[in-house]
Amino acid sequence: MSIANKNYLGIGLAGLAIIAFWLFGMSIWARISLLNEAAAEREDILSSRTEILGIIEDLNSQYQQRSLDVSKISSVVPNAKNAAELVSMFEAVSQQTGMQLVEITMGGSGSGNQQQELQTVFVELGLIGSYPSLTTFLDLLEKNLRLIDVSEINVSQASVPGQQVLNFRVKADAYYLNVK
């Protein structure tokens, strides 16, 4: 073999080596670059998830700290209409004051807007008793945990001979949350 052929053979082999490197090495290089980008993206996702978990843990600890407040609020404004609870509460308060609960009428909310979170139940009570027992009744309603707004009180003389008994009509609104 002549020197020129050896030079051509060396240049040819070097060219094949460069082409082989270009075909195989560059595809591996591109794959490694993509894997590095994917690893960086996964690290970003992992860091954002750990940040979100930290926020969730903070919210959970705040919820645990305020769970007593939440239970107090849910007793003031319950999650459901619960007519039986209202009737028993009014009956208990009237018995404590010495008044007689003669009639109770309950209706839906006055506004009729079902989209609002805070809903009202209209309650009309028919009571028999004395004026001091009415003031005690209203005082106990005010101190009750359940949120109740008394809007109107009508008083009339009872038709019981020999006794000073009054008829009372108390109109009130009780509140509950509209849970969706």
Is pTM, for the whole model, over 0.75? no
Domain 77-177 part of CATH 3.30.70.60: yes
pLDDT digits (tens, 9 = 90+) for 138-154: 999 888 878 889 999 99
| DSSP, residue by residue, the chain | --HHHHHHHHHHHHHHHHHHIIIIIHHHHHHHHHHHHHHHHHHHHHHHHHHHHHHHHHHHHHHHHTHHHHHHHHHHS-SS--HHHHHHHHHHHHHHHT-EEEEEEEE--SS--TTSSEEEEEEEEEEEE-HHHHHHHHHHHHHSSS-EEEEEEEEEE---TTS--EEEEEEEEEEEE---
The domains of the chain are located at: 1-65, 77-177
pLDDT along the chain (180 residues), means of 10: 85 88 82 91 94 94 83 66 83 92 81 65 91 92 86 85 84 78
pLDDT digits (tens, 9 = 90+) for 6-28: 888 888 989 888 888 888 888 88
